[in-house]
Amino acid sequence: MKSIIFVTHNQNKLKEVKAILDGKYHIISSTDINCTEEIPETSNTIEGNALQKARYVKENYGYDCFADDTGLEVDALGGEPGVDSAIYAGVGCSYEDNVRKLLDTLGDNPNRTARFRTVIALILEGREYLFEGIVNGRIIREGKGTGGFGYDPVFVPDGYTETFSEMALELKNSISHRGRAVSKLAEFLNQYKSTESNNN
Ligand code: IMP
């Protein structure tokens, strides 16, 4: 079975992706190949950061791999925090700091529409592929719920009344940006015909 590296140290993400992809491919995390150094993420786009991480592992470790990057794009803020979602309130800040900054910056603005956008960059047999997953929704005025992470307490996806933090994880994963991007990756990999020998 062909091995593909998922460039992440996040065990929750790994579990989520393995549940969809393991079977035809052996999914290994970058932690498992001892790639423990901080990989540069210096692009000013979500696509660029995903590609940068995947290229780093391909170039330095030689494995076919994929990497993801996510941002929250708020319309009233011209798409911010976007690629800076993790460090919106400053380097080393907490999820709570980011949420507080977002709510303070939006203030009473009635335009609350936003989206989470994930891009997965895959490098396979010398080619690069991008898969995008989007979930549209809105930012509420005060956090609700205890589950999830990041901006989940203030994000209500379209078609629902509860925040991502209030939802069961299975429901969130089935409609989320990352879930959608991973499904596209899975569909692609499941139909992929290898051009290399020894692999199916
Ligand atoms: P990453 O690219 O997956 O590390 O995501 C960058 C940042 O986006 C994280 O630090 C979170 O602040 C935010 N983020 C990513 N995914 C989610 C999510 O599913 N819910 C809430 N926030 C998220």
Map out the domains of the chain with their CATH numbers: 3-199 (3.90.950.10)
Smallest CA-to-CA distance from 149 within 106, 95, 101, 109 is with 95
- Tell which one of 134, 151, 163, 175 to mutate to probe ligand 1, the residue whose CB is within 8 A of the most ligand atoms: 151
Is the Cα torsion angle 134, 152, 56, 49 positive or negative in sign? positive
pLDDT at 197: 53
Atom of ligand 1 nearest to the CA of 70: 2
Distance from residue 194's CA to the centre of ligand 1 (Å): 32
Give the separation between CA 105 and CA 109, rounded to whole angstroms: 9
175 neighbors 148 (Cβ within 8 angstroms):
no
24 neighbors 1 (Cβ within 8 angstroms):
yes
Contact 28 CB / ligand 1 (< 6 Å): no
For ligand 1, atom 16: residue with the closest CA: 70
Q: Print pLDDT tens along the chain (200 aa).
A: 888 999 998 887 888 788 777 677 889 999 999 999 999 999 999 999 999 999 999 999 999 999 999 999 999 999 999 999 999 999 999 999 999 999 999 999 999 999 999 999 999 999 999 999 999 999 999 999 999 899 999 999 999 999 999 999 889 989 999 999 999 999 999 888 877 754 44
What's this model's pTM, rounded to 2 decimal places? 0.93
Residue-wise pLDDT tens digits, 109-151 = 999 999 999 999 999 999 999 999 999 999 999 999 999 899 9
Question: Helix 177-191 vs helix 11-21: angle between axes, to the nearest 10 degrees?
Answer: 40
Contact 81 CB / ligand 1 (< 6 Å): no
Smallest CA-to-CA distance from 15 within 35, 29, 1, 2 is with 29
Distance from residue 49's CA to the centre of ligand 1 (Å): 13
Contact 85 CB / ligand 1 (< 6 Å): yes
Write down the mean pLDDT value for the chain. 93
Which run of H or E residues covers position 139?
A: strand 127-139
Contact 88 CB / ligand 1 (< 6 Å): no
